[in-house]
Structure 1
Amino acid sequence: MFKTYEELRKKVKNEWNPLLRSYLSGEEMFPVEMKTGSATVADYKHQLAVIDENITSLLSHSKNVKGKGYLLTLTKRDFKDRMIAPRTEPVLAIWETTEDLIYTLEKEKEWKRFVGNVALIREVLPALESWMMENCKELTVANRPWAGLLDVCNYFLRHPRPNVFSREVPHLQDTKFMENHESILRSLLDFLIPEHIRDSTASKLEKRYYLRYSEKMVHLRSLDKSVKSKDGFDEKQVPTASFIENPCYENTVLILENQKCLESLPELPSTLAVKRYGGVDVKFFKEVPWLKDKRIFYWGDIDEHGFQILHNLRTYGLDVTSVMMDLQTYMTFKEHAVSGERVEATSMVTLTKEEAAMLEYLQCHREENRLEQEKIRHSYTLEKFKSIYVKTSLLI
């Protein structure tokens, strides 16, 4: 059966990308030819109306009639069956020029945009020639400010590790320019400065390249007064990177979730309390090499999330002991337990037998599966820490 105009146009869409590439390479791709299909004798006998409609569709949109688009090659066909009169059939659709193909594709605006962007890039940053060949469709996207994008690219070529905030990059059209065009800039900069990619797994420009960015903070409080004299502070907030890079003086690190609990901790020898702003994400602890030389306690909420965090910390190779996340503590303050979010996680194999039993209890009591650490009475907290430190000889 003969193709309709829409079927032919749908199939020829596959020539759009080759057309863009041929323009960039300067290689000739015309004429482009495509068979229009054929009809059998049986088709003529049983679907004559459909055949005539298809042929009419092809011819009415052709260069033969319109003066542009595909040129339809026609041939006369005779039939042995006397019931079928000789017919003039289309055989081949031929696009002779770029303009003809663009007309059929209805891509006039995209083509004009593409040609203009190619000219601009070749003038301003010819180093992108092979990038254009691999990403030619990117040059047809509407409302893409190539002049500004090229300004950013040239800046990074001059300063591949600028160590400035993205809004400080010169010549930006607005302070959110790089954020609003993150995807295309990532593609361009990966091509232009591959040896200056800081983190290839990061999607954000600030982390992927050497830009400054607002880091989540870590709240530190030394619970040993004697440590204060070493850096002048017993409590401070530092960027995550600073925490990672600078080992603490204390021998013990206490990780916890709640700000109020951190503020009310008792004095403890050679202990640093740590709370990170920005939720329960503890992945950054994996990047802290000096923690492996410390004794680590984790005091979290008695809920499924708390035990998930405990498990995660241990999978990072850290020797972590849980604090006040046991059945005795839970039962003592059970009246404050509420319903909390479930954790869809695989087996938490790093939990001790007692911790796993506590987790199982929470999973079986969904209406009372969350006891927040701030609900634990302060006097109980003091006694518990005293007991822990005596047992581990940390008070000596």
Structure 2
Amino acid sequence: MTVRACLPSDGHTPHLRKRDPTFGLGIASHPMKVLQAHAHWQRVVDTVCWIRDHVTNPIYLRQIDIPGVDTKFIETNKGLLSEILDVVLPASRINADAPRTDFAARYGFLSKPVYVRLRYLADQPGPFSELIVRADELTAQPSGVRRVFVLENEITYLSLPPVPNAIAILGSGYAATLLRHLPWLADVDLRYWGDIDTHGFAILSQVRRHFPHTRSLLMDRSTLLTHKSHWGEEKTQTIETPDHLTPDESELERDLRMGTYQPRLRLEQERIPISTVERALAGP
């Protein structure tokens, strides 16, 4: 196989003509992977060189402009690309804390934004009762908001009754990942409401790791036992051990895991009557 390091494939990118001696180190370190990629090796080379030579403002991978190279090609070959880039690029161009699997974060590309979907439960400040906002733009506490309820289930999120000075945030199973982008949550009354199952308590623990003052809502033994007719089954329990639960929450989580009441017991939040939800929201 002929290796043409950093030579342009179409003659229109002269800035790539300069050969890079570090390229040989990357190749020598992974000879079998290089051989396996022989059919598209030149595109791998061109991609590495393009990334090496474009030290500009952060862009998305979609904006890499190389003939025959698109985001699917990069995603398919990110393992080999990462191993060579780690040798070719200076340390200042590599985020060593990011794994190779997160190609964009590791090499300074923009990642898909995190979006927050929120709903005003009363006292909306403008014409919209519900908004979807980029998390990196929601840097300040919304005016007048003193209470925040985080829920996982969409229809429950949509049907919450009015609560003064409060918003609801839809977690959709990723509450912990989502909320860590909103540091102002440390200054509000933050309540998390998930299913009463091992996954629900795992997410509660993750949220509380970032915001220790988080209180759970309707995730207690009394709520579970009062709604026995609505019990269901958690298909697969999480293996995660939640470290940030209160003693009562930890005890209930252990009972769920041990099958104290029934194997893989689960009470989904949307099965709890709205009258019970209204009473809980009216409390302190």
Match of 1:343 in 2: 238
Q: In structure 2, give the amino acid aligned to 1:121.
A: A
1:188 alignment partner, one of 70, 84, 88: 84
Between 1:190-199 and 1:375-384, the stretch displaced more is 190-199
CA displacement at 1:195 relative to structure 2: 1.9
Match of 2:12 in 1: none
Match of 2:13 in 1: none
SS in 1 for 2:117: strand
RMSD (Å) for aligned C-alpha atoms: 2.7
Q: Deviations over 1:179-234 (max 9, x none)?
A: 12211222333332532335642322223233334345321112232x423xx533
Please identify runs of 4+ aligned residues in structure 1 that moved more than 4 A: 122-127
SS in 1 for 2:20: helix
Q: Give 1:158-197 correspondences, 5 Å limit.
A: 158-175=53-70, 176-190=72-86, 191-197=88-94
Mapped contact 1:223–1:267 kept (Cα < 8 A): yes
Q: Give 1:1-396 correspondences, 5 Å limit.
A: 113=1, 116-117=2-3, 120-121=4-5, 124=16, 126=18, 128-136=20-28, 137=31, 138-175=33-70, 176-190=72-86, 191-198=88-95, 200-202=97-99, 203-225=101-123, 227-229=124-126, 232-243=127-138, 245-249=139-143, 250-277=145-172, 279-280=173-174, 282-340=176-234, 341-346=236-241, 348-363=242-257, 364-367=260-263, 369-386=265-282, 388=283, 391=284
The verdict on how the C-alpha distance between 1:248 and 1:159 changes in structure 2, with shifts beyond 3 A counting, is farther
Between 1:313-322 and 1:211-220, the stretch displaced more is 211-220
CA distance in 2, matches of 1:125, 1:194: 23
TM-score (norm 2): 0.81
SS in 1 for 2:162: coil
Q: Deviations over 1:285-331 (max 9, x none)?
A: 33432222222100111111111111222222431101111122212
Q: Deviations over 1:325-375 (max 9, x none)?
A: 1122212221111121323233x4432232233223323224361000000
SS in 2 for 1:269: coil
CA distance in 2, matches of 1:332, 1:180: 51
CA distance in 1, matches of 2:38, 2:125: 56
Q: Deviations over 1:234-288 (max 9, x none)?
A: 3122344444x454332222111000011011221222211134x3462343343
Between 1:136-145 and 1:182-191, the stretch displaced more is 136-145
Q: In structure 1, give the amino acid aligned to 2:74.
A: M
TM-score (norm 1): 0.60
Q: In structure 2, give the amino acid aligned to 1:133.
A: L
More helix per residue: 1
User: Which ranges in structure 1 are unaligned for 5 or more consecutive residues?
Assistant: 1-112, 392-396
Higher relative contact order (CA 8 A, sep 6+): 2
Match of 1:59 in 2: none
Mapped contact 2:47–2:69 kept (Cα < 8 A): no
Return the index of the structure with the highest Cα Rg: 1
SS in 1 for 2:263: helix
Q: In structure 2, give the amino acid aligned to 1:188.
A: I
CA distance in 2, matches of 1:127, 1:284: 43
CA distance in 2, matches of 1:385, 1:302: 17
SS in 2 for 1:121: coil
Q: In structure 2, give the amino acid aligned to 1:150.
A: V
Matched positions, count:
266
CA distance in 1, matches of 2:226, 2:80: 56
Mapped contact 1:253–1:294 kept (Cα < 8 A): yes
CA distance in 2, matches of 1:205, 1:355: 38
Identity %: 25
Q: Deviations over 1:36-85 (max 9, x none)?
A: xxxxxxxxxxxxxxxxxxxxxxxxxxxxxxxxxxxxxxxxxxxxxxxxxx
The verdict on how the C-alpha distance between 1:206 and 1:338 changes in structure 2, with shifts beyond 3 A counting, is same
The verdict on how the C-alpha distance between 1:177 and 1:162 changes in structure 2, with shifts beyond 3 A counting, is farther
Match of 1:70 in 2: none
Mapped contact 2:116–2:178 kept (Cα < 8 A): no
